Chains A and B, each alone.
Chain A
């Protein structure tokens, strides 16, 4: 049994840590859930390319030679796409601008061959919408640049960890009795508390992983800098993880610029790493922005193992022989220590176990956002009951309602707008759309009476999700693809949920209407 004074202290800590972080975490979790399918969404929002069907993989050397003849700069760095789709339409792609070091999707050139064998290239701006939603997730909803956003995110992550630990300390003694007792019949306050505890308890491991990994994502650079100060010796190779080591001894690539033909790379890799499904083959003449030797990197996935990145891992190969040089990030071939570290990343990204885990994370993420929302509501209710600090409580009530609804509305409307465009939307335009909606919602929550604005918000959320469901349904019927069906499913569930809450809210906001029209 935990001492009662400890429980009392941590109850205070839990409510304050929770109230400070709740809204940031709501945005981070909602956007993060959507980002589970970032690549799917990006592909879905990129119109089908006008490029002819990609050349067969064994015809790639011919295509490459034609690309190099017409665009010599492509020699420096290019990508061979093994499964072309809307966002990667050509078999061969190369960046429009060399050395794009940012994380933003860069403008790529794609090449294909016409029926007569002549080269056709297109330059397609990628859809920035899915990328923007991921940025929103990483920056906990703040429109700031990397450095300050990262500091704030780290602080939020620490407070989030504190809220989790204190929540466990406070509710653990009581949980045994009340875990499954969701008392929907009693006071509304109790039902909210029971739901909050139930959600919190069952997603606790998920939340602990998220909190610790987020602390690491925010503070790894200063910690590495300290390590550098403490342990670095002149002989140490100071590269960031994930960057390639220069290959030594270095043999210059043959004059045609292509080291080994793709089919050979694939067969060689299939022998050395069976089960690994390659997605792209990336070749760069010089590693690390022109300072190192040539690098051949194969990215891909293997759902039987944990994977370092959100979409998979990679292997660094010898460009001449195709042998694996580094398997430190290759799923299932890592050293034991590296695999343990990779597990933390994989647990954050949900990059293990394939589609089932991704859907599970989507549900856990939405559940997490809901957890934070219920937390804020509980805080507001208990303050209102005590009659304390009414102005501050009302402020928080308005902010909670505007912020949560604004985030969902902003993301939904952004996807609706992006999906109904003929072209693509850049990430800066996506940002403009999202923040306009978000700020309008916050403004509305502070302008109208709370009960009225809540009702308007719920109606808006129902309609925007309904619109998204309609767009997805149209595409699902037309193209019969899995992405549209998945988006349709999520949008429909949200439409039904928000519709249900809108109906409930109506009786509160407009009691006279509810009694005359809805005899319930």
Chain B
């Protein structure tokens, strides 16, 4: 996403990043958002249903925007990198909550 021109030739890397790393990222957002709002995982609860929609929406968004990365590698690094950071944050929150 800089001055280099985008091409379709990296589509395999970009799309796989959008689908796979995007799934990790969207579930990481689910984990953090769910912890922050105190979700209890009961599918009856509004929080669980809203989080489910949020996850599906973010995953779809990742898949739609993955072609904006200049290369497949970059897409993988950014999407999975942010997923890792969020998963770490989730672990931290959970640890802080439990102790």
Contacts and interface: CB of A to CB of B under 8 A. Distances in A.
Question: Are these two chains actual partners, yes or no?
Answer: yes
B80 interface: no
Contacts of B16: none
A215 B52 contact: no
A388 interface: no
Among A162, A232, A335, residue most surrounded by chain B Cβ atoms (within 10 Å):
A162
B44 A239 contact: yes
Q: Residue among A166, A223, A238, A341 with the most chain B CB within 10 A?
A: A223
B64 A227 contact: no
Interface in A218-265: 219-220, 223-224, 226-228, 230-233, 236-241, 243, 245
Contacts of B31: 230
B53 A224 contact: no
Contact of B60 (A211, A220, A228): A211
Interface string A1-24: 001011011101100000000000
Contact of A215 (B40, B41, B60): B60
A9 B6 contact: yes
Contacts, number: 111
B50 interface: yes
Contact of B42 (A5, A166, A237, A341): A237
A10 B68 CA distance: 9
A161 B60 contact: yes
A216 B53 contact: yes
A212 interface: yes
B84 interface: no
Nearest to A238: B42
Nearest to B46: A337
Contact of A224 (B8, B11, B35, B48): B48
A223 B52 contact: yes
Interface in B50-79: 50-53, 55-57, 59-60, 63-64, 67-68
Contact of A335 (B7, B34, B46): B46
B63 A161 contact: yes
Contacts of A12: 8, 11
A35 B13 CA distance: 39
Contacts of B57: 212
Given A236-B40, A240-B43, A158 B60 contact: yes
B21 interface: no
Nearest to B7: A9
Contact of A233 (B27, B40, B53, B64): B40
B27 A13 contact: no
Contacts of B34: 227, 230-231
Nearest to B60: A161
Contacts of B90: 230
Residue with the greatest number of chain A CB neighbours at <10 A, chosen from B43, B48, B50, B59? B43
Given A227-B30, A241-B49, A337-B46, A232 B56 contact: no
A501 interface: no
Interface of chain B, helix or strand or loop or mixed? helix
Contact of A228 (B19, B41, B50): B41
B42 A6 contact: no
B89 interface: no
B56 A341 contact: no
Contact of B64 (A161, A243, A338, A341): A161
A460 B41 CA distance: 52
A165 interface: yes
Nearest to B52: A223
A238 B55 CA distance: 20
A215 B30 contact: no
B42 A216 contact: no
Contacts of A161: 60, 63-64
A216 B56 CA distance: 6
B60 A212 contact: yes
Interface in A153-190: 158, 161-162, 165-166
A446 interface: no
Nearest to A232: B41
Nearest to A157: B60
Contact of B27 (A226, A231, A344): A226
Nearest to A233: B40
Contacts of B64: 161-162, 165-166
Contact of A241 (B5, B44, B51): B44
Contacts of B27: 223, 226
B61 to A, nearest CB: 9
Contacts of B59: 158, 215, 219
Contacts of A237: 42, 44
A239 B35 CA distance: 20
B84 to A, nearest CB: 16
Contact of A230 (B5, B11, B41, B42): B41
Contact of B48 (A215, A216, A227, A328): A227
A231 B39 contact: yes
A208 to B, nearest CB: 10
Contacts of B7: 5, 9
A333 to B, nearest CB: 15
Interface string B15-43: 00001000000010011001100011111
Nearest to B70: A5
7 contacts: A10-B67, A212-B60, A219-B59, A227-B34, A231-B41, A340-B50, A344-B53
Given A224-B48, A232-B40, A239-B44, 20 more contacts: A8-B8, A9-B8, A9-B67, A166-B64, A220-B56, A223-B30, A224-B41, A224-B43, A226-B27, A226-B30, A227-B52, A231-B35, A233-B40, A236-B41, A236-B42, A237-B42, A238-B43, A335-B46, A338-B49, A341-B46
* Top 5 A-B residue pairs of the complex, sorted by shortest distance between their CB atoms: A337-B46, A231-B41, A232-B41, A165-B64, A12-B8
